[in-house]
Amino acid sequence: MDSTACTVQHHGQHVDGVDGLLPMPTNIKLQMPILAKLLQDLAANLGRESVQLQLKASMDLRRAYDADDYQAVRAVYRRGDGWVSAVENGFCVGVPEEAMKAFARRHRGNHGTR
């Protein structure tokens, strides 16, 4: 069965990503320790507060991206907190760089802004 969001395979639980983004993890219990380790490593190098701001920015950025809200994306960038865009074993935090570039190109063309 095909939909605008993904292609569903009848013989398994495989899905194709939307806009090149990876699908949500199939087993969050396996994914969360990996993500937690990544964030701990970042916090050890960058400081806990900095990583918390980056993670909040990454979640806000993903929400704005999913809603196709250009102004909300701009607001996240303007905060200057940065964001975590990391893929670990198929789990993505934030929005991958290539997807954000495509988003920006599309909206720059529609709105004529930079």
Tokens for 26, please give them: 């199939």
User: What does the pLDDT read at residue 14?
Assistant: 45
Tokens for 53, please give them: 């701001």
Question: What is the spatial distance between Cα 81 and Cα 72, in angstroms, rounded to a whole number?
Answer: 14
User: What does the pLDDT read at residue 13?
Assistant: 45
Question: What is the spatial distance between Cα 23 and Cα 6, in angstroms, rounded to a whole number?
Answer: 9
Whether the model clears a pTM of 0.85, i.e. scores above it, the answer is no
Question: What is the spatial distance between Cα 101 and Cα 59, in angstroms, rounded to a whole number?
Answer: 17
Residue 12 lies in a domain: no
Residue 33 lies in a domain: yes
User: Can you give the residue range of the structural domain that contains 38?
Assistant: 20-111
- List, in sequence order, every beta strand (DSSP E) within the chain: 86-88, 91-93
Residue 6 lies in a domain: no
SS3 51: helix
User: What does the pLDDT read at residue 51?
Assistant: 85
Question: What is the spatial distance between Cα 87 and Cα 13, in angstroms, rounded to a whole number?
Answer: 20
User: What does the pLDDT read at residue 67?
Assistant: 93
User: What does the pLDDT read at residue 73?
Assistant: 92
- Per the structure, the count of domains in the chain is 1
Residue recorded with tokens 């994914």: 31
Residue 15 lies in a domain: no
Question: What is the spatial distance between Cα 56 and Cα 47, in angstroms, rounded to a whole number?
Answer: 15
User: What does the pLDDT read at residue 114?
Assistant: 42
Residue 95 lies in a domain: yes
CA distances from 72 to 49, 54, 59, 68 (A): 23, 16, 12, 9
Tell me the pLDDT of the chain (114 aa) as tens digits.
444 444 444 444 444 444 555 555 567 777 788 778 888 888 888 888 988 898 899 899 999 999 999 999 999 999 988 877 776 656 677 888 888 889 989 998 765 444
